[in-house]
Chain A
Amino acid sequence: MTRSLRLPSGLKLMNLLLGSWTGVVFAFLYIPILLLIVFSFNDSQLNLRWEGFTLDWYRALAEDTVLIDALKNTLIIAAITTAISVVIGTVGAWLLYRYTYPWRKLVNTLIFIPMAIPEIIMGISLLILFSMTMSLLESWQALEWMPQWYQELTIQRGFTTVIIAHVTFCFPFVLVAVQARLVGADASLEEAAMDLGATPLKAFWFVMVPYMLPAIISGALMAFTLSMDEIIISWFTAGPDSQTLPLKIFARVKKGLDPSLNAISTVFILATAGLVVLSEWIKRSSREVSKR
């Protein structure tokens, strides 16, 4: 890791220090994860200390449709949330940078509200909002002259409501990350592209997006992570068919967090790590092919 640093020459000591600090921090990040993986093989229901090796929890996991469904729901919700958040956050940051909107300060403050507000307040207020909208709908549905499609309209807690809630607290993270990247960005970049005949859309897509990309990636990673791990807001807004993994895990605390929960985390982490390595490998081999 240290060797690949592109730091100025004559700074070997600093490089070494930086590299080893990074190593220490990564160890800090991964020690609990390693432990979690090891304990997924623990022969103990309560899973507090090591009692012996077993694969039973992986067998139990294979039969545990509730957990598997919950993981599926979590991934669907996190993926859609990330996609919407990236679009809203990136476009929002770019527009706020490019144009001077009236009440810009107000908009900037509003963006931070979902971050600043405690999750429980946001959860309950969104649930109240959804149920108020529903009762409003229902009261008008009593009117007979309303069209058929309107009569059938209904708001139920489910994927849509969770995703709405998740996007609301995730997109500000993307926006702030992209905004930080745009500070001091060369304004002439985009204009130069347009002077050369690019349409505004093309200028945005081929000039601005690549420039913002590192921030977009980190924003997307943050949004995905936040959505994957959210409990309180999900508890209020999720319906019976959209229960997420954190909700199901939380529901099992009382029973004791048995190792099958470690097992599902392990399977997921290893699968992700595998995918990352695979995509790197594909990228690298395609690069080598193109070099030839």
Chain B
Amino acid sequence: MQAAISTAAQVKGPQRRPGWTGWLLMAPMLLWLLAFVVVPTAILFVYSFCERGTPVEWKFTWENYARVFGGTELWPLLKCVLEAAGVTAVAVLVDWFRSPSRMREERAESAKRVGTAIFVTVLLWIVWTDLSNVFTGTYVRIFVRSLYYAGFTTLACAAVGYPVAYCIGKASDRWRNLLLMLVMIPFWTSFLIRTYAWITILNENGLMNAFLQSARITQEPISMLYTPGAVVLGLVYSYLPFMILPIYGSVEKLDNSLVEAAFDLGASPVRAWQTVILPLTQPGIIAGVLLVFIPAIGMFAITDLMGGKTVPMIGNVIQNQISGQARDWPFGAALGMTLLAMFAAAFWFTTRKQGDDAVMG
């Protein structure tokens, strides 16, 4: 995710200062952002520091943010980091001594790469398996859970969607736009109707169970709906097109001669993909990751309908504050602002590393 943001912000063409035409053309978008993004966000920002009332009492308070982060202890998280670091250290040492023939620099490079990958994976895994003990604060835990769901959705969509996007991008002119439309058309029905169609398929007296039983794969109906599996299916189904479309944009401009050259030089399909195709389609993947991951954090309708609403998502909690029974707008606003702040911090942090001159101009 972090790498993704950094590259997206890095987009740069001919570095040139805008003249008056540049500003004039930019004005509509800037004004739009100011009027309908900055101002409404600012209103809610102010609300988030108010006391609850009907709907708000204009009295300053930190209470809402204290509630968001309340109950959080650092030690359990630190423990996870240490555990992950331990595993990583062992793995790096093994890697270091595995092939003594390598150069020192090469070893260091490999250690860095392998180490980072292992550390991140192990840390994510440890935290996920023990979420309720690692994140002791109620709302912080809900935040983290929502991030995990969004991350998983993004990964699954990328894995499922990449080959499809590649296929469409490399299809002949005749097929390309038709296939693109075909990806999108299912989503022009209402979300609710689509989800109910899935419910018809997955319920215990539904088509899937009928099929499994008639094929003698199972005897008794299986509970498929309102399980984590159903949630994953629903999420991938809903977000897939937003992964496929941007990747398609990159694949479509991929120069075939480069790929062919790789094969002529004897590369296996996997290696050709790794060294040539993947780097060239990376901007599309990054855009897809952004378009899926960011909206998926606040999403809850799908997890509710397919998963049974047994675990709260951050979107549920906010909804409940604003148009649900809790009716606490300032707290809902504080949760929303925290989400935005997290996102903005990640964005600024990752772009800062790229060097300010590239981004700031």
Direct touch of chains A and B (CB < 8 A)? yes
Residues 31-81 of A at the B interface (beta carbon under 8 Å)? 31-33, 35-36, 39, 47-49
In whole Å, how far is B333's beta carbon from the nearest beta carbon of chain A?
Answer: 7
Residue contact A32 to B178, C-beta cutoff 8 Å: no
Would B190 and A181 count as touching, CB distance under 8 A?
Answer: no
A122 to B36, CA, bound (A): 9
Q: State the Cβ distance, A57 to closest chain B Cβ, in Å.
A: 13
Across the interface, which residues of B come within 8 angstroms of A225, CB to CB? 184, 187-188, 241
Report the stretch among B26-34, B65-73, B77-85 that lies at the interface.
B26-34
Q: Is the CB of A100 within 8 A of B361?
A: yes
* Contact-size category for A: 35 or more
- Which residues from chain A contact B25 at a C-beta distance below 8 Å? 91, 95
- By secondary structure, the B interface counts as helix
**How far is the CB of A249 from the nearest CB of chain B, in Å?**
5
Residues in A with CB closer than 8 Å to B14 are 98, 187, 191
Decide if B200 touches A39 in the complex (CB within 8 Å): yes
B193 touches A257 (CB 8 A): yes
Instruction: Evaluate contact between B248 and A218: CB separation under 8 angstroms.
Output: yes
Q: Is the CB of B18 within 8 A of A33?
A: no
Shortest C-beta distance, B255 to chain A (Å), equals: 11
| Interface status of B183 (Cβ within 8 A of chain A) | yes
Name the B residues within 8 Å of A30 (CB-CB): 186
Known: A97-B12, A113-B37, A181-B250. 6 other contacts (CB 8 A): A100-B18, A120-B315, A173-B291, A179-B8, A228-B187, A265-B193
Interface size class of B (residues with CB under 8 A): 35 or more
Q: Say yes or no: A272 contacts B188, CB within 8 Å.
A: yes
B361 pairs with A184, CB closer than 8 A: no
One of B37, B207, B336 near A168 (C-beta < 8 A): B37
- Residues in B with CB closer than 8 Å to A121 are 44, 318, 322, 332-333, 336
23 pairs, CB–CB < 8 Å, chain A vs chain B: A11-B269, A32-B201, A49-B200, A95-B29, A99-B16, A101-B26, A116-B294, A117-B298, A118-B298, A173-B242, A177-B246, A179-B8, A191-B14, A222-B245, A229-B187, A245-B190, A250-B192, A253-B192, A265-B193, A273-B185, A276-B178, A276-B185, A280-B177
The answer to whether B9 has its CB under 8 Å from any CB of chain A is yes
Chain A CB within 8 A of B191 CB: yes
Task: Identify which of residues 165-193 in chain B touch chain A, using a CB-to-CB cut-off of 8 Å.
Answer: 166-168, 170-172, 174-175, 177-193
Closest chain A residue, CB of each to CB of B160? A25
- Which residues 275-320 of B sit at the A interface, judged by CB distance below 8 A? 283-284, 286-287, 290-291, 294-295, 297-298, 301, 314-315, 318-319
Query: Considering only CB atoms, which chain A residue lies closest to B319 in the complex?
Result: A120
CB distance B11 to A1 under 8 Å? no
Residue among B194, B283, B291 making CB contact with A183, cutoff 8 Å: B283
- Cβ of A208 to closest chain B Cβ, rounded Å: 10
Q: 7 tightest A-B contacts by CB?
A: A100-B361, A118-B298, A125-B40, A180-B287, A218-B245, A32-B197, A99-B18
